[in-house]
Amino acid sequence: IYFTGNVFVVSLAVADLIVAIYPYPLVLTSVFHNGWKLGYLHCQISGFLMGLSVIGSIFNITGIAINRYCYICHSLKYDKLYSDRNSLCYIVLIWVLTFVAIVPNLFVGSLQYDPRIYSCTFAQSVSSAYTIAVVFFHFLLPIAVVTFCYLRIWILVIQVRRRVKPDNNPRLKPHDFRNFVTMFVVFVLFAVC
């Protein structure tokens, strides 16, 4: 799990860095000038990268949850499902889906400056049907998948704890359980914020 788990975490870090490198400095500029002064092109690029980062983070957190679920609940199949090559393919798939998810914003015209948050972002008022689709596919569906994965892991942990005697070695190693709890807390905090 070390390579596989790390490749997902690195991908999540890349999603976070995307927003830190370009959009956040532009937000600071917007705050200092009390409005967007950088023009339409920078607004579109900033909004696109912000969306890429947010959706990339959500999809990566979902990928991490599925990875942990397979590692803990389907451990016999894990090595085949998450070989180094397959893991890299999953990361590429996450980013392709992320890119495909954000590109329609350029054509719908939903990337606009929002003075409340001093940044160019997804404007929900452009199309209610598109907004509903975005909320469902980019937020509710990933939350459902992550919730399913972590609930199944939690159920398995409870079942294993009930079956294991103190002198036996449990199936779950302490560092695996810590990783599970850490990623679940990250997910909950991300979903709430």
Asked whether residue 44 carries a pLDDT value surpassing 70, the answer given is yes
**Look-up: residue for tokens 């209610």?**
128
| Distance (Å, whole) CA 187 – CA 160 | 24
Write the CATH number for 147: 1.20.1070.10
Count CB-CB contacts under 10 A for residue 14: 15
Give the chain's domain count: 1
**Residue 30 belongs to what domain range?**
2-192
pTM of the model: 0.83
Query: In the prediction, which pLDDT does 138 show?
Result: 94
| Residue 40: pLDDT band with limits 50, 70, 90 | very high
